[in-house]
Amino acid sequence: MNHEYYMKEALRLAETTLKEGEFPVGAILVFKNEIVATGSRKGTAGDFANEVDHAEITALRNLAGRKEFNEINRQEMTLYCTMEPCLMCFGAILLSGIGKIVYAYEDVMGGGTGCEIEHLSPLYRHCSVEIIPGILRKESLAVFKAYFSNPSNSYWKGSLLADYTLTR
């Protein structure tokens, strides 16, 4: 599978989200070299951040709406995301049975993929996922730098993630 090709598609979603003033995370789900669902981060542009509508969750929700994918082996699916999934998204990905996560930029503040599955609660211990970090990291970093450099974007402004991103 061409990881860079699909990550570029996720980056396009992130760039669109950035133009909308939202936190620039894009996610796509791929099955047998076909993009079957997409998602982008929503709910960060206002005064009160919506902490549920993450790109990965939206992509999983969009996949669930496609009946033709209810009976497939989701271990054959790959999720591409411009930022490392958080704990909430990582848990949802595990429970959804997605076989591979490919992400561009590490989330030093809230990334969840470093969790050792065998130390999680019993519900998650049967899950397995391959994780591939750093695909088109530089390109994703540029998008997040653009976000944190814009004074009108307040989501996570002054946070560990913002400081880390702006010093790379």
Q: What DSSP letter does each residue of 78-138 carry, written as one string?
A: EEEEEE--BHHHHHHHHHHT--EEEEEE--TTTB-TTS-GGGS-HHHHT---EEE--TTHH
* Among the listed residues 63, 134, 120, 66, the one whose alpha carbon sits nearest the alpha carbon of residue 90: 120
Catalytic residue IDs: 56
Enclosing H/E stretch for 163: helix 160-166
